[in-house]
């Protein structure tokens, strides 16, 4: 996953022609590390889906604007806006099913 900051995210949302996902985390969160490993598996199988990650410590304004309640948080972006937030990273198959509708979805 490519690391992005809040400026990158806002730019990507403004110029979004396809759907994508952003994984918000903090480096000291153990659950975030497990979720990231699962998302790396997803990324390897869904190569056409843009998937980014952002250390929420460096995006406090965006966290407030999007009302991100906790980490890990997977934000699905459609039409340049957050359409859904997922906080429970249960399993690779579960995350695959969450992200599959975004595949090749133009906004």
Q: Is 89 helix (H, G, I), strand (E, B) or coil?
A: coil
pLDDT value at 17 more than 80? no
Q: Is 43 helix (H, G, I), strand (E, B) or coil?
A: helix
CA 101 to CA 72: how far, in whole Å? Answer: 20
* H or E element that contains 82: strand 81-86
Residue-wise pLDDT for 18-73, tens only, equals 889 999 999 999 999 999 999 999 999 988 888 999 999 999 999 999 999 999 99
pLDDT at 21: 93
Nearest to 65 by CA among 10, 2, 1: 10
């Amino acid at each position: 996953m490519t690391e992005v900051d809040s400026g990158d995210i806002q730019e990507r949302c403004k110029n979004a022609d396809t759907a994508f996902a952003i994984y918000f985390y903090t480096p000291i969160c153990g659950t975030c590390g497990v979720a990231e490993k699962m998302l790396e598996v997803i990324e390897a199988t869904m190569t056409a889906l843009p998937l980014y990650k952002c250390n929420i410590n460096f995006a406090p304004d965006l966290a407030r604007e999007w009302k991100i309640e906790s980490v890990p948080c997977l934000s699905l972006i459609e039409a340049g806006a957050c359409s859904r937030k997922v906080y429970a990273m249960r399993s690779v198959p579960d995350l695959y099913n969450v992200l599959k509708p975004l595949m090749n979805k133009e906004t």
